Structure 1
Amino acid sequence: MAEQPEEVLRFLEAVKALEEIDDDAACAVAITKVLKDWGENSARLREIRQQRVLNLREQGKTWQEIGDIMDVHYTRAQQIAKGLRGNKRPTKKEAEA
């Protein structure tokens, strides 16, 4: 397994900590609170990733190089730059436009 950035490890540790809550009710409540905010944060993560991919492109990286960096196919890197989701649906912003 490739080395994970510290932030990814912290996120995975947080998920594990939720799973390890002994009290079923407390665990369910904690996870519900996380999931209530997940949608907004998921969209924000996609926006940040898109901007970073665009930044890499502006730095002169090829789509192949960006795909390799992200461990995705170069066409997926292009889709991310356009704001397309994996299922090819437009982002919420695009749908509202």
Structure 2
Amino acid sequence: MAEEREEVPEEVTNLRAALSAFAAMDDDVACTSAVSQVLRDWPDLGSELRQLREQRVNRLRHERQMTWPEIAAVIGEVTPERAQQIGKGLSGAQRKKNERAAKEQPGK
């Protein structure tokens, strides 16, 4: 039985190519500087990516009427519950904070 291969979006391929381009830089100073700039910008870039994913997950849910299990399959390697949390904008850090707060409340 042939294994199905998931098609990789061009944008993902481009991002990986950009990372390879950093690694291929001959000038250690230039490479270090360029990678450091990306790392400084990464918190904002990561936040933008999470917001974009949240928006698209909500469009899948509301406009395309997809179920949480279907959306989880699109995201990949997450449970339907996690897909729903993504739709609500809950990051991993926020989920852990909420879980800690719930454990600290008496009677829970």
Shift of 1:84: 1.2
Unpaired runs of 5+ in structure 1?
91-97
Query: Partners of 2:48 and 2:96 in 1: how far apart?
Result: 16
Picking from 70, 73, 81, the partner of 2:75 is: 70
- Measured in 1, the distance between the counterparts of 2:23 and 2:79 equals 33
Give the superposed CA RMSD.
1.5
Say how many residue pairs are matched: 90
Asked if 1:79 corresponds to 2:85, the answer is yes
Task: Provide the rounded CA distance (Å) in 2 between the counterparts of 1:20 and 1:75.
Answer: 40
One-letter identity of the residue aligned with 2:67? T
1:8-45, CA deviations, whole angstroms, 9 ceiling, x for partnerless residues? 00000000110111121111001011112111111011
Alpha-carbon distance in structure 2 between the residues aligned to 1:51 and 1:86:
17
Structure number with bigger Rg? 2
**TM-score (normalised: structure 1):** 0.84
The share of aligned pairs that are identical, in percent, is 43
Superposed CA offset, 1:38-95 (max 9, x none): 11111011001001001111021110111111112211101101111134257xxxxx
User: For 1:4, what is the secondary structure of its paired residue?
Assistant: coil
Gaps of 5+ in 2: 98-108
Moved over 4 A (4+): none
Matched, 1:61 2:74: no
Q: TM-score, normalised by structure 2?
A: 0.76
User: In structure 2, what is the Cα distance between the partners aligned to 1:22 and 1:63?
Assistant: 46
Letter in structure 2 aligned against 1:81: G
